[in-house]
Amino acid sequence: MSLQFLSSPAGFRFRPFVIVAAAFAFSPCWGQTEVVVASAVASEAAHELRLSGTLTPEQRSGLSPRVDGLVAEVLVDAGDAVGAGDALLKLDATLAEAIRRGSDARVKQARAVRDEARRRVDEARPLVPQNTLPKTELEARVAALAQAEAALVAAQASASEQSELVRRHVLSAPFDGVVTAKRTEAGEWVTRGNPVLDLVSLDAVRLDVQAPQETFASLRDDTPVQLIPDTLPDTLLDARITARVPVGGGSGSRTFLVRVVPLESNTALFPGTSATAVFRLTRPGASAVEIPRDALLRHPDGGFSVFVIEKGEQGSVARRRQVSTGRNSIETVEILQGVAADESVIVRGKEVLRDGETVRIVAPKS
């Protein structure tokens, strides 16, 4: 048997390798791996609900002129940023301007008639007590003054109306935003109610997601939620729930609308892009711990593990444990099972460790 074993190349090579490897691993001369550790912190158990949707602007408008007319000039194009009150389009106002000038002239005429009627009344008042002018003549002049004042008011109203019509030949931006579509050109006839420009506000966006019926009842206005824009998948933005619509989406989907709005504006959030809302739903009576995300080791099958420090005869020993994860944030991850509060987990130096290896704990480098 021994001669057959020695003649076997496989057997001859295997046993010395095991011996050498064992000596290499447990030799007291072998230097211990330096690691940096952090303590697991107790937290309220929660799980994440991730729902995707498309960001939409809180303000979107298809702008239409307020009067019918011929387009004289389009002052903007798609992609232009505009401010509230900026002129976007002008209609031909030649006829409206002429009518306004006529209205202004009629105001001047009515004012002159009113002034003359007032002068005649002022002239007649001292003459009546002197019996040099009949009282009926004064009353007639007072009536004529009242008519002149009424005519002036009517002329002023007509002039104001015509001035407003002239102003309506200019289409202005109702809010700050970006022009997303230009639907007309100079020389075209446009009518009220037909959009000629599309304007979208970039200052405030919202994310509408459809929550399944199983979790919709667990969502509250104060449920913690964060947004992850797909344009920057490593960015987490604080948000809040602004609306929960307790009416199903129809077509048997059994989902309900939840509207999420970021707490602060961010350039990574712009209409038309997709984003994910991450809701943190707590589980009453359950507990968990939080550890730094750097302590996690990802497995090829999608699972996770961490190295936990245990005390051994030769010092600190790294023990690998399978863990069940919960909520994630930028810096921490929730551990639902596998690590207890106040246990130390390895956050630096774990990449080269083996289960049961003795390590040396060092302070983190600045």
Q: Enumerate the domain spans of the chain.
A: 31-45+286-361, 49-59+203-285, 67-90+170-202, 93-168
Kindly tell me if the per-residue pLDDT of 318 is higher than 90.
Answer: yes
CATH architecture of 93-168: Orthogonal Bundle (1.10)
Task: Say yes or no to pLDDT of 4 above 50.
Answer: no
At residue 5, the pLDDT reads: 35
Q: Please check whether the domain covering 31-45+286-361 is classified as CATH 3.40.50.300.
A: no
Q: Which of 204, 162, 200 has its CA nearest to residue 181?
A: 200
Residue 32 — pLDDT band, cuts 50, 70, 90? Answer: confident
Write down the number of H helices and E strands in the chain: 5, 21
The predicted structure's pLDDT at residue 225: 92
CA atoms within 13 A on the CB side of 198: 9
- What integer best gives the mean pLDDT of the chain? 85
Please tell me the predicted confidence (pLDDT) of residue 282.
72
**Res. 153: pLDDT tops 90:** yes
Q: What is the per-residue pLDDT for 124?
A: 92
Q: What is the per-residue pLDDT across 93-115, written as a single tens digit (0 to 9) for each?
A: 999 999 999 999 999 999 999 99
Topology (CATH level 3) of domain 67-90+170-202: OB fold (Dihydrolipoamide Acetyltransferase, E2P) (2.40.50)
Each residue's pLDDT tens digit, 207-246: 999 998 888 888 888 889 999 998 888 888 999 999 998 8
CA angle 4, 6, 9 (to 5 degrees): 100
> CA 177, CA 45: separation in Å to the nearest integer?
42
Quick one: what percent of the chain has pLDDT higher than 70?
A: 87
Over the stretch 175-191, which tens digit does the pLDDT of each residue have?
Answer: 999 999 999 999 999 99
Q: Which pLDDT does position 287 carry in this prediction?
A: 66
CATH-assigned architecture of domain 49-59+203-285: Beta Barrel (2.40)
Bridging pattern class, strands 315-328 and 304-312: antiparallel
Neighbour order of strands in the sheet with 81-82: 60-63, 197-200, 177-182, 81-82
- Residue 252, number of CB atoms within 10 A of its CB: 7
